[in-house]
Amino acid sequence: MTSLVLTLVAPREATTLDTATISLARDIIRAQGETVILSPGEAVDIPCPTCAPDVLAQLHTHLGSKVDVVLTPAEGRRKKLLVSDMDSTIVANETLDDLAALAGIGDKVAAITTRSMNGELDFATSLRERVALLKGLPQSLLEKAWQDVRLNPGAVEMVRTMRAHGAYTALVSGGFTFFTSRVAALCGFEENHANTLLTDATGHLSGAPGLPILGAQTKLDLLEQLSTRHKLAPEATLAIGDGANDLPMLRAAGLGIAFFAKPVVRQAVAAQINHTSLRTALFMQGYPASAFVSA
């Protein structure tokens, strides 16, 4: 059986990873090796030489309401490729919803977004429907929406730390290049991919996205293409996202992380961040906080 590592991470603004929690986790997995402190009071690694199939469920039952818990193979933990979603992952926003809210049609667009991210509506169809509602809006509204975009905690640390240790990083979104290009520059992603918004001769949105529409298959294709380009095995890759259109790339990556994800994603992906920040994606790879590269 593959040797594993159990990583525990506590939300450092709200609580501390105490000795009682660590001891309980060690008892559940019947740990024998020493606990490795990645960040005092925040994150630890615990060797897990063997693991019964129901152990992860037990860990979530006893610890999942307090801390993030994840089991990963002990070998090859530090990934050499990061492919990340943007909306509700790298940034706290759903940028298309924000744009619609500024136009006074936020509820209509947000309802379609929710159905799409929960896997209830085909992504390409949902994007066309949402963009159609934006027809006639001035392109300047994009700039206004950008002013409200906020990076999620740990986003810059995750990207810059992985790059500093030799990983290649790419941002991919079902949103729009207007936003991904700027977010990529802020975080340090080496490339970014997204959809485009078409405008008419007067500088107003035409109500149609550029083709082809970037969706779930495109995200998976990008992961595979970058793996091939950099001569990486699937095990050396990391993907992170929150919605149904992220599922194919999350399943294909060596480490697929569901970040505050929709129920359909949490049901399908074992490695989850539900309580903490994007720093946890680094702890999952065995990085101590002392190795993090901050903004």
pLDDT digit string, tens, across residues 37-76 = 999 999 999 998 777 778 888 888 888 788 999 999 999 9
3-class state of residue 9 by DSSP: strand
| 14-33 residue pLDDT tens | 888 999 999 999 999 989 88
Question: Which sign does the torsion angle of CA 102, 103, 107, 110 carry?
Answer: negative
Q: Which of 229, 278, 235 is nearest to 255 (CA)?
A: 235
Query: Could you tell me the two tokens for 194?
Result: 């997204």
Respond yes or no: is residue 122 known to be catalytic. no
What the chain holds in terms of domains, given with CATH numbers, is 1-75 (3.30.70.120), 78-295 (3.40.50.1000)
Q: Respond yes or no: is residue 200 known to be catalytic.
A: no
Rounded to whole angstroms, the maximal C-alpha distance in the chain is: 68
Name the token pair of 291. 């190795």
CA atoms of 203 and 78, how far apart (whole Å): 45
Q: Across the chain, what does the average pLDDT equal?
A: 94
Which of 85, 97, 98, 246 is labelled catalytic? 85
Active-site option among 45, 87, 97, 242: 87
Compute CA 145 distance to the chain's CA centroid, rounded to the nearest angstrom. Answer: 22
